[in-house]
Chains A and B, each alone.
Chain A
Amino acid sequence: MITKLNHVSVFVLDQDSAYDFYVNKLGFQVHTDAAMGPGMRWLTVCPPEQPDLEISLMAISAGMMFNDESAAQMRELVSKGTFGFGVFECNDLVATYEELKAKGVHFKKAPKQEFYGFEALFVDDSGNWFSLGQKK
């Protein structure tokens, strides 16, 4: 029986920039930041109230996971905003929207009441987009 999700990957163009976005703008906490040899880094962050869900900010670079061609394709797809990686939750959507906007976060969609809930869409520094909803 599967009981929970504890790791999820988000592919990013630059881990230093992603660190700044997820930690300094979104307010996430660094879980593990480990150098894995030249040019390789294992970097995971957690939403403030979810310390057991590690979001792995995976660099898209040629190596074991990607060859040169697939890394280039993946970087292009991410930077074009192809991927939506999930739904985050906050206590107050409008307050969070105003705060993140003041910190320079780009929103594809301002908070709007939809039939399924109150939602906004923001984009990370690489081009990945996320839905942001409000706790009911």
Chain B
Amino acid sequence: MSARLPDNYPRIYLYRRLVQAKIFIDTHFSERIDLNCISDEAFFSKFHFIRLFRQIYERTPHQYLISVRIANAKRLLASGMSATDACYAVGFESVSSFTSLFKKQTGSTPSVYRQQQLDLQAAIRKAPLDFIPNCFAESNGWSKTAILKKPPSE
């Protein structure tokens, strides 16, 4: 099954290369990869690659790589990992640049974000019904007095 593309679309083989490059970033974000590495993966010249990538994903490959690293850092921080460990785990080499980029994208420092997420998870564990619309809770027979057997995601 193949897509029927309007006439003004890049050819499908270009799309597939760009998608493979995006998936490469998604799966190798924690490694030391640079643009040359990514454009090699897509079999493009660096500048042609950047232009096409931006056309599809509305940001440059470098901007996309940063956003993937930040998204994964958020996940690790929410799991309780320290800010320093999360920084290196997602591929940043400098804690100060990680903190600055993280704050720019999320509005919080990594440490503040981590604490907010841990507090939120504790609140959900303590009183999950406060986070569920009552109509859903009632239709499932969940009452305020329900005793929870285990916290989520453990």
Query: Which chain A residues have a beta carbon within 8 Å of chain B's beta carbons?
Result: 7, 9, 32-38, 40-42, 56, 63-65, 91-95, 97-99, 102-103, 107, 109-113, 118, 120
19 interchain pairs (CB within 8 A)? A34-B125, A34-B128, A34-B131, A35-B128, A36-B142, A36-B146, A37-B148, A40-B140, A56-B136, A63-B140, A64-B139, A92-B56, A95-B22, A98-B12, A99-B22, A102-B19, A110-B1, A111-B5, A113-B4
Task: Assess the A94–B22 pair: CB atoms within 8 A.
Answer: no
By beta carbon, the residue of chain A nearest B140 is A64
In-complex Cβ contact of A95 among B6, B18, B125, B138 (8 A): B18
Q: Does B95 touch A at the CB level, under 8 Å?
A: no
Q: Give the chain B neighbours of A91 by CB distance below 8 A.
A: 56-58
Q: Give the chain B neighbours of A102 by CB distance below 8 A.
A: 19-20, 23
Kindly list the 4 A-B residue pairs having the minimum CB-CB distance in the complex, ordered from nearest: A64-B141, A34-B128, A111-B3, A98-B19
Q: Give the chain A neighbours of B112 by CB distance below 8 A.
A: none
Bound complex: CA of A93 vs CA of B3, how far in Å? Answer: 9
Given the known interface contacts A91-B58, A95-B19, A95-B56, the answer about A32 and B149 at a Cβ–Cβ threshold of 8 Å is no
Bound complex: CA of A107 vs CA of B58, how far in Å? Answer: 25
Q: Give the chain A neighbours of B1 by CB distance below 8 A.
A: 107, 109-110
Size of B's binding interface in residues, CB under 8 A: 38
Bound complex: CA of A36 vs CA of B140, how far in Å? Answer: 10
Q: Does B153 touch A at the CB level, under 8 Å?
A: yes
Task: Assess the A94–B3 pair: CB atoms within 8 A.
Answer: yes
In-complex Cβ contact of B149 among A37, A92, A95, A103 (8 A): A37
Number of CB contacts from chain A to chain B under 8 A = 94
By beta carbon, the residue of chain B nearest A111 is B3
Smallest CB separation, A64 vs chain B (Å): 4
Bound complex: CA of A7 vs CA of B22, how far in Å? Answer: 31
Q: Does B45 touch A at the CB level, under 8 Å?
A: no
Given the known interface contacts A91-B57, A94-B3, the answer about A35 and B19 at a Cβ–Cβ threshold of 8 Å is no
Bound complex: CA of A40 vs CA of B138, how far in Å? Answer: 13
In-complex Cβ contact of A42 among B5, B6, B16, B136 (8 A): B136
Task: Assess the A38–B149 pair: CB atoms within 8 A.
Answer: yes
Give the contacts of B69-107 with A (CB-CB under 8 A).
none
Smallest CB separation, B56 vs chain A (Å): 5
Greatest chain A CB density within 10 A among B3, B15, B138, B147 is at: B3
Task: Assess the B133–A99 pair: CB atoms within 8 A.
Answer: no
